[in-house]
Amino acid sequence: MNWINAVVQGLLLGGLYALFACGLSLLFGVMRIINLAHGDIAVLGAFLVWSITTRANVSPLLGLALALPVMLALGYALQYTVLARSLRGGTLTPLLVTFGLSIVIQNGLLQAYSPDVRSLGGSAGTLSTGSWHLTAQLSIPYLGVLTLATAVLMLGGLQLCLRHTGWGREMRATALDSDTAALVGVPASAVYARATAIAVGVATVAGTFLAVHSTFDPSSGPTQLIFAFEAVVIGGLGSLWGTLTGGIVLGVAQTIGATIDPQYSILAGHLDFLGILASPRGRSLITRSTT
């Protein structure tokens, strides 16, 4: 029963990792950028939601709904002001630029909010504490189910949009060959701006769920970035369904590790990631990106 519990909790935790990984996966797939500020953008979103929630005394979910338009606009602005310029500088420049952006966000948050550890769990009420008790040893938390459901809806919805809508086709075409896309009338910068806005928006959702699920502070971003990056690689680059699977695999690996011994929790996740990298599929991934 312990093991079943571990797998169930891992599935639910995996939803959170998949949410974090979604934006990272999208930006890599469409713009070939590894956004090192992704975790910090999520934490920035969480702070914005925290501010709205505590000032207006509303539930975190309402706070998230109010914060999302701001963060989507920020995503657009991020592409037009920072990423578009850095993309013109070659493949290494965006990596350095987003690394710098990560430091700027962390220090900005430190300045504005102090290093105090915060949580939105308190203002979420029964959502963060309640659960369905199935048996004495197996209970399913509301929040976990909501997180996983949100992840499935967001990643699945995004995948369906990419496949079946006009702007989705434009995004895939631009990802494959942005120069040729311009020759059929598709401006790459507008497509990139849309992708960045979506990535920042989903990161905000992920940051909010993290804030309700546990705690966060200005330096929480890099840890989430590592989990997100592992989920993307485990699931396979450039596939959103793969990213969802990757997040779940990582979550289950961590909870099973924790069942063996609590100190193995994070380590089990990393080992899982390294195992994938060393496997034939991981090797093909590396050779593909170098050719």
Partner 1 sequence: MSLLEVEGLSARHGLLNAVREMSFSVADQQVVAIVGANGAGKTTLLRTIAGAHPAAGGTITFDGLDITRMPAHRRVREGIALVPEGRRLFSELTVEENLRVAGRRARPGPWNVGSVLDAFPMLTPLRDRRAANLSGGQQQVTAIARALMTNPRLLIVDEVSLGLSPTAVDTVYAGLGRLRDAGATLILVEQDLRRALSFAGHVLCVLEGRVVLAVPAGDLTREQVTEAYFGLQSSEPR
From 4-12, 55-63, 120-128, 171-179, give the range in contact with partner 1 by CB under 8 A: 171-179
Binding mask 183-202 for partner 1 (x = CB under 8 A): xxxxx---------------
At its nearest, how many Å lie between partner 1 and the CB of residue 159? 14
Number of neighbours of residue 61 by Cβ within 10 angstroms: 16
Task: Tell me the closest approach of the beta carbon of residue 156 to partner 1, in angstroms.
Answer: 19
Nearer to partner 1, 59 or 189 (CB): 189
Question: How far is Cα 38 from Cα 120, in angstroms, rounded to an integer?
Answer: 20
| Choice from 179, 262, 263, 291 touching partner 1 (CB under 8 A) | 179
How far is it, in rounded angstroms, from Cα 84 to Cα 27?
A: 13
| Total number of residues shown for the chain | 291
Residue-wise DSSP of the chain: -HHHHHHHHHHHHHHHHHHHHHHHHHHHHHH----TTHHHHHHHHHHHHHHHHHHHT--HHHHHHHHHHHHHHHHHHHIIIIIHHHHHT-SHHHHHHHHHHHHHHHHHHHHHH-S--B-STGGGTHHHH-EEE-SSS-EEEHHHHHHHHHHHHHHHHHHHHHHHSHHHHHHHHHHH-HHHHHHTT--HHHHHHHHHHHHHHHHHHHHHHHHHHS-B-TT-HHHHHHHHHHHHHHH-TT-HHHHHHHHHHHHHHHHHHHHH-GGGHHHHHHHHHHHHHHSHHHHHHHHHHH-
Binding status of residue 160 toward partner 1 by CB under 8 A:
no
| Sole binder of partner 1 in the list 2, 180, 215, 279 (CB under 8 A) | 180
Q: Which range touches partner 1 (CB under 8 A), out of 36-44, 149-157, 163-171, 239-247?
A: 163-171
116 is an interface residue for partner 1 by CB under 8 A: no
If binding is defined by CB under 8 A, does position 241 make contact with partner 1? no
Regarding 181 and contact with partner 1 (CB under 8 A), the answer is yes
Q: Is position 88 an interface residue for partner 1 (rule: CB under 8 A)?
A: no
Among 90, 115, 166, 262, binds partner 1 (CB under 8 A): 166
The binder of partner 1 chosen from 112, 176, 260, 274 (CB under 8 A): 176
Pick the closer one to partner 1 by CB: 176 or 260. 176
Minimum Å distance from CB 164 to partner 1?
A: 10
Q: Which stretch binds partner 1 (CB under 8 A): 41-49, 140-148, 173-181, 247-255?
A: 173-181
Among 173, 226, 237, 285, binds partner 1 (CB under 8 A): 173
- Tell me which residues touch partner 1 (CB under 8 A): 166, 169-170, 172-173, 176-177, 179-187
